[in-house]
Amino acid sequence: MVNTVASEQNGAGNGASADSNGSSLFMGSSQQSNRAFKLHPGHAAFLLGVLVVGIGILTIALSDEIDRQILNHVEFLSRVLVLLLPAIVVIFSFAVEGPLPRRIMAVLFCVLATHVPIILMSAILPLRVTPQLIFMGAFLSLAFGITIALLRVVYRKRIVSVIATDLGPEALKQIDQDIRLIDDPKADPCGLDLLVVPRSVLSTSIWADFVARAAVAGCEIQSVTNYVKRHAGRIHLDGDEPLALACLNRPAYRLVKRAMDIAIVLLMAPLVLAILAVASMAILIDMGRPILFVQDRVGQAGRVFRMYKLRTMHNDPATKRQNATAKNDGRITRLGRLLRRYHIDELPQLWNVLIGEMTLIGPRPEQPALVAAYAEHLPGYDLRHLVRPGITGWSQVRFGYAETLEETREKIEFDLFYLERFGPALDAEIALRTIIAIFDPNRVR
């Protein structure tokens, strides 16, 4: 049975007490330790910004003695600096460590610290540096920096250890085989990225001291339950721990997410319309009418809406059966396989996103008959209707398509994980994984 508890923190609950308490208790000490031994890339960016401002102030102070030729040199150096700043921000993004939100904030600080001085100089001095060039450099810096931060978080192999004194064989099976086992409380925790802690060891003073030293050294602390959940990216339906659904307590992010959906769809509209025009003409020539495939799906709060796709199957009554699409489905035409290969058939759903029936990232919507069947056999299935359904989602990029009831059971476990970890960090990871999955033919049906 799946129990739900509204919580503002991701992963909050009884099973994650070691994670939340251990990490928050020593957060300040950890950051002070890191600052004592490292020059944060944001500091370097700030120094660079101060240098640029200093040059600008010096130029203004000596403006009566500076001729146009010198200003031309300053303009040239400013243009070169604007073009080089994205590379500088990328280098900074490689130096930033820590969780994804911290990396993104550091990149944002670097961009502001390096580009705002140039904007001020161009506004004060008679320099012929166009605002378009400056803002293009700032946009590229931000895009490259955040992309590097995302890639490093997704693909970096972290050094993970677990205190294995009180863990039985069944618990160890759920933990990654590459994880290091720690059985000596006097070991040096420096160099560890993540320490997995059973709740029982915190009652032992010698192990509690080891956990404290690990936190002070900058190591992230997690409970065994929370680590297994995050490592697998899913929440088992047969678990007895309550769910802490972050999606229930983040109204501000819901508004931001909705605004981003509208902005991204409008920005993509010219390119999407051109692709749809070519694809529609190809469907008309190859398969005839209709071009669109319209089907009822269940959305947020159980509301039924009409979802649009480009038609990829033969136009016969069998196509309209309430069945999930199988791999190598015989109903799909040759052109349809090409459209599905690059997910072009999903583009009309951007209209559903624009009018608020769907979102870019969320659990995939299902047909009403399938929803009724799944809800009867799978506890917690209707929880996925707490948010808008998406064009792509966590279960799509981590599991893929589901044909059978057992596969759907596994898929809903990934959807529950998304509901619990609902936030910008997970959405950003899904977006990155989606881009990679577009070019993976094994994920296409």
Average pLDDT per block of 10 residues along the chain, 445 residues long: 43 39 37 41 56 57 53 65 75 74 80 75 64 76 83 72 67 62 82 80 84 84 79 73 73 93 95 94 89 93 94 69 59 86 92 96 94 89 93 90 86 91 91 83 56
In the prediction, which pLDDT does 241 show? 62
In a domain, 22, yes or no: no
Cβ partners under 8 Å of residue 136, min gap 6: none
Please say whether the beta carbons of 228 and 174 come within 8 A. yes
Same domain, 166 and 222: yes
Q: How many domains does the chain have?
A: 3
Same domain, 140 and 286: no
Q: How far is CA 24 from CA 17, 29, 213, 223, in A?
A: 11, 10, 14, 13
CB neighbours (10 Å) of residue 165? 15
> Hey, what are 220's tokens?
């992230």
Same domain, 101 and 175: no
In a domain, 163, yes or no: yes
In the prediction, which pLDDT does 136 show? 78
In the prediction, which pLDDT does 143 show? 85
In a domain, 65, yes or no: yes
> Final residue of a domain: which of 197, 232, 267?
232
Same domain, 131 and 221: no
Report the DSSP pairing between strands 292-298 and 304-310: antiparallel
Residue type, 263: A
- Whether the bond between 189 and the residue before it is cis, its omega within 30 degrees of 0, is no
Same domain, 278 and 396: yes
Please say whether the beta carbons of 206 and 187 come within 8 A. no
Same domain, 177 and 189: yes
Give the domain range for residue 223: 4-14+158-232
In a domain, 23, yes or no: no
In the prediction, which pLDDT does 31 show? 38
Same domain, 428 and 394: yes
Same domain, 221 and 274: no
Same domain, 267 and 378: yes
Phi, psi of 10 (to 5 degrees): -70, 135
What CA–CA distance (Å, rounded) separates 364 from 359? 10
In a domain, 239, yes or no: no
Report the DSSP pairing between strands 292-298 and 160-163: unpaired
**63: helix, coil or strand?**
helix
What CA–CA distance (Å, rounded) separates 194 from 200? 18
Residue type, 328: N
Same domain, 209 and 224: yes
Task: Give how far the C-alpha of residue 261 lies from the chain's centroid of Cα atoms, to the nearest Å.
Answer: 15
In a domain, 354, yes or no: yes
Same domain, 284 and 379: yes
In the prediction, which pLDDT does 169 show? 52
Report the DSSP pairing between strands 243-245 and 292-298: unpaired
Same domain, 263 and 150: no
> Hey, what are 321's tokens?
């059966």
In a domain, 29, yes or no: no
In the prediction, which pLDDT does 46 show? 57
In a domain, 21, yes or no: no
